[in-house]
Every structure is written in structure tokens, then in C-alpha cells.
Amino acid sequence: MLKVINVVGARPNFMKVAPIVEEMKRREREFAPLVVHTGQHYDADMSDAFFRDLELPEPDVYLGVGSGSHAAQTAAVMERFEPVVLQERPDWVLVVGDVNSTIACALVCAKLGVKVGHVEAGLRSRDRTMPEEINRVLTDQIADLLFTPSADADQNLLNEGIPQERIRLVGNIMIDSLYRRLNHAKQSTIHQKLGVSDGDYAVLTLHRPSNVDEPDHLAGIVKALAEVASKMPVVFPVHPRTRKKLHEFELSERVERIDNLQLVDPLGYVDFLQLYSGARIVLTDSGGIQEETTALGIPCLTLRENTERPITIEMGTNQLVGCEPERILAAFYAAVEKPSSNDLRLPPLWDGHTAERIVSSLLEYSR
């Protein structure tokens, strides 16, 4: 039996870990899974909602790291995670995504000689100013098994000198959670609460420092937002960081005066899934939403100059539009005026069975 520590640090990690833990519990004779929550992002109401919505078991260990600078947070995770590894002596530690907890826990294991699997490996934006890019590259260099979502990720790893035998193309773990919770999400009453109808509104999410920490960038997005809202209702779940910066840059009043725009607090997974799955278009700077909108066939405008998920542009519904109002609006009008198509092309293995392939690979590699 393999003892596997599954690490979650930030909310996007929950959606990636939940189907893996679920699959391990289904194969209880072969796996003993543990969940370690580093507490990198922690809000009691939000975290509890995500654990409940995803049916993820309560963490076996909560490290309670909290916020801080990148260096302080990474160091704190390492310091608190090492005793857990020494006590539990796992066969594997699975880390997911690209947050500080991912590289911190991978480093601890590399130093202790404990095998590491990296889920969502090989993604590259080629923008070294993004802390997430550094986390991705370094984690992939020290992990024993690299679970990739798409063929371009495999090629990135090979180009960086990673041996083929460490790479496993398994598909997109986010799509597992999406498909497993989609029917459940239909029970959400978020549409009624917000007074919106399927296919008749836009959703905006915004949180990346490159957008919200730059006054000119944030002001440009707000300018475009006002015109988008003049054409259709917009729902904007506001990230705490974004709300703070809107106030700091004296943009809050301008945003609040936009007709047809609803500012709401961040939503739980099920409510948010129901919200964006019914949208006519999504504007975002998130990575995971680029993938989920591709899986659902919803036009997505990514408010960035690069993406670590180019497959969502090549085969999906995603477009890179940056933060200049003219580019955003040109892409918005082109997307909403284009007739809807049922010709949905999904990347290979985005089929909802990625967790099964990950778990089987762990067994095969351990024999």
C-alpha cells in the first residue's frame, strides 16, 4: 500500500487534489491518502465552502502558514512541512499547480529523498517576472514524476532536459472536478440571487499583480468593463486583493457607478461553476478558468499578454487580449457577435479520467 501526502496550498489546488484523493480512497487496498493544507491562502468561510463543495475530506494536517512575502511564505511552508514528512514517512508526496506551497513542499521532499509527483507539470508562460513561472520550472526539475495536461507541456519538459521516463501525459485534472460537479452545480440558486439568465451575461475575474497592482492597467480594464456592462449584465466576484487596489487607486467609485455591473464577494466552487458555466462570455486573468471555459465551449478573453496554457488558444475558446481597452473591446464584440457553435474541440485526455491515470501511474512507477 502506498502512503501519499496530497498538498493543498491555495484554493485552485483544491479542485486539482479532490478527484485524486477521491480515486485513491476508491482504491483503498492500494492507497492511504493524507491531505496536508499549508494554509497559504486561508479564509475560513471560503476554504470550508471549497472543501464541502468538492467533497474533499478535512485536512489531516493544517500548517497554518498564512500570507507573507514569497520568501517568508515559502520558508514557513518548508519549516512546517518537514516535520510532517519525517513523522509520516510517505511513499509519495503529490504537489499541484504553481503556488509557493508547491515548490516549498517539493524542495523539502527532494532534500529528504522522498518521491514527488507534480500534477499540472510542464506548463510555461515564458514570463520569468511571474512568481508562478519560477515555481513551475523549479518544481519540474526536482520532481520524480511529472503529470502533464497536454502534449505541449511534454515538449516543454523535454526541451528543458527532463528525461522522457519521468513524464506522464495524463490530461487535465481540473476537468475531472468540472465534470464531476457540473450536475451538482445546477442545484445552485446563484442565477436567481443575482437576477441573471443563462447565456445573457458576462463574468469577470481579476487578481493577478500584473493587472491589479498597476494603476494604468487596472484603469484600462475598468474603462473596458464600463462598455461591456453597457451591452450585457456583468457579474464581478471581487478578489480581496483587487478590492484593496481599486480603493487604493481611487477607482472604487468609478466601478460602483457602472450600470449593469454587480460586484459580489468571492463565491464557493459550486456557485461559481454554475455562474460561469451559464455565461455568454468570461473575462479573466486566471489560468484554470481558461481551461474550464474551453471544456464548456464558452468564449474566454484572458486579460494577459501570455499564457502557460496555449492549448486553450490552439484548440479551445481562449484569446489573449491584454489590458488595453481597445483590444479587450474588439475581442469582446467579435466573440459575442459570432454565432454559437456546437463544434467543440477538446484537447486529448480532457475527459474527466485524469485522476485515474495519475493514480495508476504512481502504482506502476512504484513497482
**What DSSP string describes 152-208?**
HHHHHHHHTT--GGGEEE---HHHHHHHHHHHHHTT--HHHHHT--TTS-EEE----
Of 229, 202, 210, 178, the residue nearest 300 (C-alpha)? 202
How far is Cα 205 from Cα 192, in angstroms, rounded to an integer? 20
Quick one: which H or E segment has residue 235? strand 234-237
Q: In what order do the strands lie in the sheet with 261-264?
A: 261-264, 234-237, 202-204, 281-284, 300-302, 318-320
State the catalytic residue, choosing from 41, 118, 184, 207.
207
Which grid coordinates are listed for 288? 484554470
Catalytic, 207? Answer yes
Angle between helices 11-26 and 173-185 (to 10 degrees): 90
How far is Cα 88 from Cα 216, in angstroms, rounded to an integer? 49
Phi, psi for residue 235 in degrees, rounded to 5: -110, 130
Which of the residues are catalytic? 207
